[in-house]
Structure 1
Amino acid sequence: MGSLGTMLRHPDDFYPLLKLKIAVRHAGKQIPPEPHWSFCYSMLHKVSRSFALVIQQLDTDLRNAVCIFYLVLRALDTVEDDTSIPADVKVPILKAFHRHIYDRDWHFSCGTKEYKVLMDQIHHVSTAFLELGEGYKEAIEDITKRMGAGMAKFICKEVETVDDYDEYCHYVAGLVGLGLSKLFHASGKEDLAGDDISNSMGLFLQKTNIIRDYLEDINEIPKSRMFWPRQIWSKYVNKLEDLKDEENSDKAVQCLNDMVTNALIHVEDCLKYMSALRDPAIFRFCAIPQVMAIGTLAMCYNNIEVFRGVVKMRRGLTAKVIDRTRTMADVYRAFYDFATMLKSKVDMNDPNAKKTLSRLEIAQKACKDSGVLSTRKSYILKNQSRYNPALIALLFIILAIIFAYLSANRSNN
């Protein structure tokens, strides 16, 4: 549940962490008995524990459709990601993937670890897919076809301009936003959202991941994966991989800040999309990842550690976001908080400082205009370094009980 030192610095993280741990265990027990559905949900937990947890918010029919949608696109992504597959083999598979999902006998061995298992046993996913309602199947097939074609296009095309970057992110993530909107509509629970704001929901998440995963992508073996657009990084270094060199630290941070500023342009659309959702379960499913994204950008901004290792929100803060993101008011408050955190890190000597501040102010204005901030209770920026004696005492009591229980069990065994 996180290190003891971290919990002592943030004692109010403890209860959300405990609830999250219980929720993860509960989600792990909700695996259907049928072999194909059991495989799909077990695989979902292996390839994305966080998504497997968030998806539990949804009703059964929609949850099944979203689970299969995610696994189909994860399989498609595994083919695209495997840099050992020659382009002349990879491209036809990507373009035909929407047809393969109807074929229980088709499989293609690629990827590593759990992704290889997914590809080797993808017949389970196809079997589950064929049991979905027609509206769900049509939406999944349509998005898979469009995404496969887009991925194939970028196998032989570099991300040169910002327009290329937006196009690539549209194919690999914006289409996910469009697909989810179609699935929500097919369930009868939501109106069909506009393509532009659905696309922005995907682009905001994808750009956050691309920024956060710079080091992992650039160190990919046998061939690095490059998604940062040349139009941005070439202003700072000669080669994208130069950003990780220590002598380029100042330029690397400026380039990073430029990338974060680019991602912030989608915030207003994301808030519009979420504010239009009616179903509470669908709302939470959509809102939690978006709050995590703005939080991750706040952590990454002006942070050289993006080029040295992994930068992410601490587990306790993640648990708080999952626990407390329940209404649109919570989203406005969280976006406002993280925008404030990011704003405090802006250095006016940064070449993009004015643009960054402008986009943050637009985001904060959208949150203020909601009218909920006057009664806001910040859980992100408050109590960051305060000790709460009562919570610390309670923490030690609970830890002592757990330790005593484990010791007793060990003795009995």
Structure 2
Amino acid sequence: MLTFAVLQVCIFYLVLRALDTVEDDTSIATDVKVPILIAFHRHIYDRDWHFSCGTKDYKVLMDQFHHVSTAFLELGKGYQEAIEDITKRMGAGMAKFICKEVETVDDYDEYCHYVAGLVGLGLSKLFHAADKEDLASDSLSNSMGLFLQKTNIIRDYLEDINEIPKSRMFWPRQIWSKYVNKLEDLKYEENSDKAVQCLNDMVTNALIHVEDCLKYMAALRDPAIFKFCAIPQVDYFSTISQLLVLCVHVS
């Protein structure tokens, strides 16, 4: 059995997964989506609130979000405040990038901080609130999330660019514009050499967070928390290594 705050982490995940479902649904009009993202940290206190969006399991989560709110309201005040704070900051950041493209590498880092780095900060706070770990630095916690998110963004390029009714574009223009005129051009076979060069650039950017991830995990004391953190990191190390092999073989 896990020895840390399993319930608190599960609720934290479900709240942020619901928030992410709103952001991911490209069929929601911007003028509807942005206010929901900004106010989401208040909705988690409302047992009656729900918003139908998403597909499959995510739609079930949104339609039955009252169960998440009910469980959230049964948590201790310290846990509630930690989850609310991260949800508020994440929702505001998501709303910002609904209306703003990822132009520079700094934009890219900022977006990944909002959607994943904050998860790392929130988990560190929950581990600390449960008296299981020392409070990790914001920098290391942020890197844990950034590495996972950047690997996701690299891996999901084709899915995101082909999203209907509207493409989702997270690769920074500062990187891809060195190789093509439009981000979607990378998916065409005639641009395969340039696509691999761009992929190499993106992978190199993601790898800058690996040392911080290892430092974060090396400092963990609780075996269950270590496994909880290490399993996804190892999985994503594997993903990024496969992308590196692709870069080497094709080039």
The normalised TM-score by structure 1 is 0.59
Aligned runs of 1:281-300 on 2, under 5 Å? 281-300=224-243
Q: Which residue is 1:136 aligned to?
A: 79
Q: Does 1:198 pair with 2:141?
A: yes
Q: CA separation in 2, counterparts of 1:200 and 1:346?
A: 28
Q: CA separation in 1, counterparts of 2:26 and 2:240?
A: 28
8 Å contact from structure 1 (residues 257, 302) kept in 2: no
8 Å contact from structure 1 (residues 254, 302) kept in 2: no
8 Å contact from structure 1 (residues 72, 101) kept in 2: yes
Bigger-Rg structure (1/2): 1
SS of equivalent residue, structure 1 residue 301: helix
Q: Which residue is 2:117 aligned to?
A: 174
Alignment root-mean-square deviation, CA: 1.3
Q: CA separation in 2, counterparts of 1:271 and 1:216?
A: 29
Aligned pair partner of 2:218 in 275, 278, 281: 275
Q: CA separation in 1, counterparts of 2:70 and 2:220?
A: 31
Q: CA separation in 1, counterparts of 2:122 and 2:178?
A: 35
Q: CA separation in 2, counterparts of 1:102 and 1:161?
A: 36
Shift of 1:142: 0.4
Aligned runs of 1:234-383 on 2, under 5 Å? 234-301=177-244, 303=246, 345=248
Q: Which residue is 1:148 aligned to?
A: 91
Shift of 1:302: 5.1
Q: CA separation in 2, counterparts of 1:159 and 1:166?
A: 9
Q: CA separation in 2, counterparts of 1:63 and 1:208?
A: 26
Q: Does 1:68 pair with 2:11?
A: yes
Q: CA separation in 2, counterparts of 1:281 and 1:114?
A: 27
Shift of 1:113: 1.3
Deviations 1:291-336 (A, max 9, x none): 11111001122538xxxxxxxxxxxxxxxxxxxxxxxxxxxxxxxx
Shift of 1:58: 2.9
Q: CA separation in 1, counterparts of 2:207 and 2:163?
A: 27
Shift of 1:137: 1.1
Q: Which residue is 2:48 aligned to?
A: 105
Deviations 1:235-267 (A, max 9, x none): 111111111100000000010011000000001
Aligned runs of 1:7-18 on 2, under 5 Å? none
Aligned pair partner of 2:28 in 85, 94, 109: 85
Q: CA separation in 2, counterparts of 1:293 and 1:211?
A: 11
8 Å contact from structure 1 (residues 98, 141) kept in 2: yes
Q: Which residue is 2:174 aligned to?
A: 231
Q: Does 1:211 pair with 2:154?
A: yes
Q: CA separation in 1, counterparts of 2:161 and 2:126?
A: 34
Identical-residue share of aligned pairs (%) = 85
**Structure 2: gaps of 5 or more residues:** none
Q: CA separation in 2, counterparts of 1:200 and 1:235?
A: 26
SS of equivalent residue, structure 2 residue 48: coil
Aligned runs of 1:43-58 on 2, under 5 Å? 58=2
Q: What residue identity is the alignment partner of 1:146?
A: R
Aligned pair partner of 1:114 in 57, 68, 71: 57
Deviations 1:102-156 (A, max 9, x none): 1001111111111111111100000111111222111100000000000000000
Q: CA separation in 1, counterparts of 2:228 and 2:134?
A: 16
SS of equivalent residue, structure 1 residue 303: helix
Q: What residue identity is the alignment partner of 1:119?
A: M
Q: What residue identity is the alignment partner of 2:216?
A: Y
Q: CA separation in 2, counterparts of 1:346 and 1:178?
A: 37
SS of equivalent residue, structure 2 residue 75: coil
8 Å contact from structure 1 (residues 165, 228) kept in 2: yes
Q: What residue identity is the alignment partner of 2:209?
A: H
8 Å contact from structure 1 (residues 256, 302) kept in 2: no
Q: CA separation in 2, counterparts of 1:166 and 1:346?
A: 28
Q: CA separation in 2, counterparts of 1:174 and 1:223?
A: 25
Aligned pair partner of 1:162 in 105, 110, 113: 105
Shift of 1:346: 7.5
**Structure 1: gaps of 5 or more residues:** 1-56, 305-344, 351-413
SS of equivalent residue, structure 1 residue 85: coil
SS of equivalent residue, structure 1 residue 153: helix
Deviations 1:66-92 (A, max 9, x none): 111111001000101111111111111
8 Å contact from structure 1 (residues 66, 183) kept in 2: yes
Q: CA separation in 1, counterparts of 2:78 and 2:239?
A: 34
